[in-house]
């Protein structure tokens, strides 16, 4: 059984481990994520990104977290596009786990913990996510956490040089 999975708000000290994971996993994530600027593969680039994410957190538009196992950073979980208005109260969930820690249940546990943050800390009513149509492992993570697919966004994201469709997911968090 892997070490306990936790999530917490990202910190400036997370820049180096995040950069190391991203640099090592470039090929692994090429199918699932848009091309990233080379700076994000460096600790300095990640530090700048973390500064922007924490500014968004202070503004109430994002909850940027890291995923930890045995106290070590192994990925990220982010609630973006937060709309806290009483008539909307929703956010979009994104996550990744470094290749060396995949297939151990960390993503599923991190998503479950992020849903708790969305409901209890952020006061959101609706969680949304999207996956590449072929990303079956991520779809299993979402299904196990109570998400349901509700549509397809055609030509929604440029991945590996071509526009691809995304499967849209939703989960109602409660009243």
> What class has domain 5-172?
alpha beta
Nearest Cα residue to 62 out of 77, 47, 76, 80: 80
pTM, whole model, 2 decimals? 0.92
∠ at Cα 43 (7, 33), nearest 5°?
65
pLDDT in tens, 18-44: 999 998 988 888 778 887 888 889 999
pLDDT in tens, 64-120: 999 999 999 999 999 999 987 888 899 999 999 998 999 999 999 999 999 999 999
Domain locations along the chain? 5-172
Residues 6 or more apart in contact with residue 7 via CB below 8 angstroms: 65, 66, 67, 68, 77, 110, 113, 114, 117
Tokens of 24: 């090592």
């Amino acid at each position: 059984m892997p070490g306990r999975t936790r999530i917490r708000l990202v910190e400036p000290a997370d820049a180096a481990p995040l950069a190391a994971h991203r640099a090592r996993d470039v090929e692994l994530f090429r199918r699932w994520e848009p091309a990233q600027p080379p700076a994000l593969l460096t600790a300095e680039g990640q530090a700048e990104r973390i500064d922007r994410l924490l500014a968004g957190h202070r503004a109430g538009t994002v909850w940027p977290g890291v995923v930890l196992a045995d106290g070590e950073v192994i990925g990220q979980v982010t609630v973006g596009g937060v709309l806290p208005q009483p008539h909307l109260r929703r956010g979009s969930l994104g996550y990744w786990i470094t290749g060396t820690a995949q297939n151990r249940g960390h993503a599923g546990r991190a998503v479950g913990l992020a849903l708790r943050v969305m409901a209890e800390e952020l006061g959101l009513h609706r969680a949304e996510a999207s996956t590449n149509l072929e990303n079956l492992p991520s779809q299993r993570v979402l299904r196990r956490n109570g998400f349901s697919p509700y549509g397809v966004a055609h030509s929604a994201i440029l991945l590996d040089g071509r526009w691809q469709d995304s499967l849209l997911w939703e989960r109602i968090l409660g009243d």
